[in-house]
């Protein structure tokens, strides 16, 4: 029977002993896991925790600044690094999903390593790894699904980083992480944030990535997510987002026929992300959102809704 307060007490004491007066560097993603991990570490070792939040240019609309502001308000020692250009350069011309993930992972490590090198005497890398990540990475080390989760860095680090890993959440499921976050007094809005993939919008733009496509998808996504919030639906959904398809279809604008992009909307319910069902969002809502997207986002003239469950489908499209 899991009790958040007891967990916090135990894990903070354990980390104090383990880390002592060493410095720890941790990459924040804006998500629940890395934030809760950071607050726990901060409780254990205070300002010896150095957090880095990287803008990979693949975040949601306005997310870099708003999340950075939120972290500063929480007393975390955090540096925001805008590396968008580096990520766009690394992604240029790549359309294979695994190639995109690898390029993003590599760019992230480079940026992170540059930043970590500016800090002296860092001995540890903090990570917000949770139990499902551990499981999926174990199954990804062999067997037929070896490439499924190449993005999770569990248990292995590039040699040049030479840091020991500390992962305070590695035995917890997502709902337990949220309960721990709540007992630490972390803002409900942050705790209730939907999971978001590390490679961000890059795996929701099928095909190659350009800053223009990112800008289109950010607008579409913002209409969808804000709409869910305004209609009281956001908290009923495990995860939602829009996918920019590499497909053009015919539309009409005024007297003209247009030939523009199709976006898919995806919203799922789940308890752990391992299985998921599509959410039966109200037709009225879907109608309103699709009109808003088509009327306001240049370059998109058709919206479709994804009704696949995981398995056999996945939450993301690539
Ligand atoms: P799938 O699409 O596998 O997604 O059903 C399960 C959960 O994992 C997230 N996801 C990722 N997270 N890097 C990440 O950090 C990735 O490459 C990646 N792919 C999927 C997905 O958003 C969902 O929460």
Spans of all domains in the chain? 4-191, 204-305
Q: Label the pairing between strands 239-253 and 300-305.
A: unpaired
pTM of full prediction above 0.95:
no
More confident residue, 115 or 231: 231
Could you report how far apart the first and last alpha carbons of the chain are, in Å? 36
Residue 174 confidence (pLDDT):
87
Lowest mean pLDDT among 178-182, 190-194, 210-214, 239-243: 190-194
Rounded-to-integer distance, Cα 262 and Cα 247, Å:
6
CATH class, range 204-305:
alpha beta
Of 140, 315, 317, 318, the residue with max ligand 1 atoms within 8 A of its CB, to mutate for a pocket test, comes to 315
> What mean pLDDT is predicted for residues 203-219?
98
Q: With 50 as the cut, is the pLDDT of residue 13 above it?
A: yes
**CA 86–ligand 1 middle distance (angstroms):** 22
Mean pLDDT of the chain: 91
Model-level ipTM above the cut of 0.90: yes
Q: With 80 as the cut, is the pLDDT of residue 142 above it?
A: no
Residue located nearest, by CA, to atom 19 of ligand 1 = 197
Residue 161 confidence (pLDDT):
61
pLDDT cut 70: percent of the chain above it: 92
Residue located nearest, by CA, to atom 4 of ligand 1 = 315
Q: With 70 as the cut, is the pLDDT of residue 154 above it?
A: no
Give me the CATH code for the 4-191 domain, please.
3.40.50.620
120 pLDDT tier (thresholds 50, 70, 90): confident
Q: With 90 as the cut, is the pLDDT of residue 241 above it?
A: yes
**CA 258–ligand 1 middle distance (angstroms):** 33
Across-strand partners of 269? Answer: 277
pLDDT tens-digit series, residues 270-283: 988 899 999 999 99
Rounded-to-integer distance, Cα 234 and Cα 247, Å:
28
Q: With 90 as the cut, is the pLDDT of residue 43 above it?
A: yes
**CA 49–ligand 1 middle distance (angstroms):** 27
User: How many of the other CB atoms lie within 10 Å of CB of 209?
Assistant: 27
Q: With 50 as the cut, is the pLDDT of residue 149 above it?
A: no
**CA 22–ligand 1 middle distance (angstroms):** 32
197 pLDDT tier (thresholds 50, 70, 90): very high
> What mean pLDDT is predicted for residues 117-124?
88
Q: With 80 as the cut, is the pLDDT of residue 152 above it?
A: no
Residue located nearest, by CA, to atom 22 of ligand 1 = 197
Token reading at 313: 């489908």
Q: Do domains 4-191 and 204-305 have the same CATH topology?
A: no
Q: Are 138 and 125 in contact (CB under 8 A)?
A: no
Q: With 50 as the cut, is the pLDDT of residue 21 above it?
A: yes
Q: Are 153 and 115 in contact (CB under 8 A)?
A: no
State if residue 273 touches ligand 1 by the CB under 6 angstroms criterion.
yes
Q: With 60 as the cut, is the pLDDT of residue 35 above it?
A: yes
State if residue 198 touches ligand 1 by the CB under 6 angstroms criterion.
yes
């Amino acid at each position: 029977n899991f009790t958040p307060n007891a967990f916090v007490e135990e894990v903070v004491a354990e980390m104090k002993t383990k880390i002592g007066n060493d410095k720890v560097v941790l990459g924040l993603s804006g998500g629940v896991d890395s934030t809760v991990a950071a607050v726990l570490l901060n409780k254990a070792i205070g300002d010896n925790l150095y957090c880095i939040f990287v803008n990979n240019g693949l975040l949601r609309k306005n997310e870099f600044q708003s999340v950075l502001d939120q972290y500063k308000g929480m007393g975390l020692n955090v540096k925001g690094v805008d590396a968008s250009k580096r990520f766009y350069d690394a992604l240029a011309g790549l359309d294979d999903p695994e190639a995109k993930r690898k390029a993003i992972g590599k760019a992230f490590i480079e940026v992170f390593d540059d930043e970590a090198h500016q800090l002296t005497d860092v001995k540890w890398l903090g990570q917000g790894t949770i139990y499902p990540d551990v499981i999926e990475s174990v199954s990804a080390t062999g067997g037929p699904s070896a490439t499924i989760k190449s993005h999770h860095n569990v248990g292995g680090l590039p040699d040049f980083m030479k840091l020991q890993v500390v992962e305070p959440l590695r035995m917890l499921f997502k709902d337990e992480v949220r309960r721990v976050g709540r007992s630490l007094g972390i803002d409900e809005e942050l705790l209730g944030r939907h999971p978001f993939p590390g490679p961000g919008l890059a795996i929701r733009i099928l095909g190659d990535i350009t800053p223009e496509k990112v800008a289109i998808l950010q607008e579409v996504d913002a209409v969808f997510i804000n709409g869910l919030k305004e209609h009281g639906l956001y908290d009923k959904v495990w995860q939602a987002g829009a996918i920019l398809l590499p497909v053009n279809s015919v539309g009409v604008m005024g007297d003209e026929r247009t030939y523009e992009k199709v976006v898919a909307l995806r919203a799922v319910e789940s308890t752990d992300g391992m299985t998921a069902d599509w959410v039966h969002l109200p037709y009225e809502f879907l109608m309103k959102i699709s009109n808003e997207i088509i009327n306001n986002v240049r370059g998109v003239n058709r919206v479709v809704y994804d009704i696949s469950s995981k398995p056999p489908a996945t939450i993301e499209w690539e």
